[in-house]
Amino acid sequence: MELGRRLSVQTKKTIAITPRVIQSIKLLKCNHDELCSYLKEQEERNPLIDVVLPETRPVSTAAPQSQPTAPAAKSEPPKGGTSLSVARSGGAAAGDLRSIEETFARRQTLREHLLEQVDLTIHNAVDRLLAREIVESLDPDGYLRRDLDEIADVLGIVETRVEHALHLIQGLEPTGVGARDLGECLRLQLDEAGELTDEMDILLDNLDMLAKFDLAALARLCGVDRVEIAEMARQIRMLDPRPGRQFDTDAVLPAMPDVNVELRPDGTTHVELNSALLPKVLVNREYYSEMRAVASGENDVRFVTDCMRDANWLARNLDQRANTMLKVATEIVKRQQDFLLKGVEHIKPLCQADVADAIGMHRSTVCRAISGKYLMTNRGLFELKYFFSNALSGEGSAEDVSAESIRARIRKLIEGEQGKKVLSDDAITATLKGEGVNIARRTVAKYREMMNIPPSSIRRRQHSAARIEAEACVA
């Protein structure tokens, strides 16, 4: 056998992903806010890019228009090249608007509210230090989830002193803050209102039974009749289980539709992108000409050329993103006509591969196109992902039924319950099979739990509790 080195040539096919393709993929996956942030980054790096952001939800802020400022610094040429000193002309004033977050009036936080009271009401220096430590340990709901012995060990003080400071905190507003569990939170509120009776104290020790609406057993434990226990339950429902949340300062900004669909009187639909939400990329060709004219040296010429190429890529990729979103949304609307015309119970099963095959795109492209995007319909605002649902086999029907439509049907059946006529999971299963939907009882139970609907035993107690409370109100 001869051993030795040998040279050979092989031909191999590989897929090269260019920077332009990478950018196209990134843009398609971005939701509106992420897109605006990315475009602003590109504008800062490239002197030939002007980004015009929509006025609805601008990303960056700038000085008011009444106080003009000098143009922002742009990308510098490569090291070793001659500095281009041409002043930039034109450009968009997209950053002149203030963001929505800045226009919200600032509210006092729970921490600030409590620390203010601590400084005003607690005069002992040690107690004030402990109280401030407890305030810093509260969660957004106002509960103390930290053990008192841990605080005592950290601060090198006896636990009884920490407990005393906690009682001081529990005497502050809002009532119920500083509680270590739900029962203690409710006790603090009832105690302040003068409604913490012995019977109520027993009830608070058995909140799990109240959650199951087992009023008969609770009435026996508390030594009261069913009308009194219903009134006690009503008192508890009037309390605030999360007192700290009234100081929640996180502004909840509404989702904005990326695509609008109009249902016309003749039953046809018109799908269009929400132009008010689309950012625009402008390529400053006048500034390119000025930079090109004064460029001296190979590095400067390459810098200007690369800037123009990248700006054109970004503009084309942004247009491609819009076209892809429109194609995907149009196909979704086409396949979900029954949902628009008849309601959620008629939403059809749909998978991403179906849409991808119909419009001649890859499934991954559809996946990116629907990520974080919203569609405004005649039935409200929906995330595009909502319209993709697995299918369940329907006996005697021409086509399969979507899981979402089954959940809607289950919800409607349960909402229609009256009095003692509460439907068990078996009864719901039988009803659906009578409508031609072949579904297992365990699937009904799973869907019911997904919608946070309690089982029939608890719903029956809920109806009974409602009747007892109504009788108490009449009495």
For 344-380, write each residue's pLDDT tens digit: 778 888 889 999 999 999 999 999 999 999 999 988 8
pLDDT at position 57: 44
Beta strands 49-52 and 269-273 are unpaired
Domain 392-474's class? mainly alpha
- Residue 304: pLDDT band with limits 50, 70, 90: very high
Q: Is the per-residue pLDDT at 72 higher than 70?
A: no
The amino acid present at 201, given as its one-letter code, is: D
Q: Tokens representing 351?
A: 């998978």
Domain extents for the chain?
17-66+249-389, 110-247, 392-474
Most confident of 38-47, 332-341, 387-396, 426-435: 38-47
- Residue 60: pLDDT band with limits 50, 70, 90: very low
The CA distance from 153 to 356, in Å, is: 61
Kindly report, residue by residue over 188-225, the tens digit of the pLDDT: 999 998 999 999 999 999 998 888 888 888 889 999 98
Q: Is the per-residue pLDDT at 470 higher than 60?
A: yes
Q: Is the per-residue pLDDT at 87 higher than 50?
A: no
pLDDT at position 251: 56
Most confident of 97-101, 106-110, 435-439, 460-464: 435-439
- DSSP designation for 27: H
Beta strands 280-283 and 374-377 are unpaired
- Comparing 11-25, 290-304, 423-437, which segment has the lowest mean pLDDT? 11-25
The CA distance from 243 to 169, in Å, is: 13
Residue whose C-alpha is closest to residue 84's, from 305, 284, 285, 301? 301
283 three-state secondary structure: strand
The CA distance from 55 to 279, in Å, is: 9
pLDDT at position 8: 65
From residue 121, alpha-carbon distances to 2, 57, 157, 171 in Å are 95, 43, 21, 10
| pTM of this structure | 0.59
- Residue 415: pLDDT band with limits 50, 70, 90: confident
Beta strands 374-377 and 259-263 are parallel
- DSSP designation for 387: G
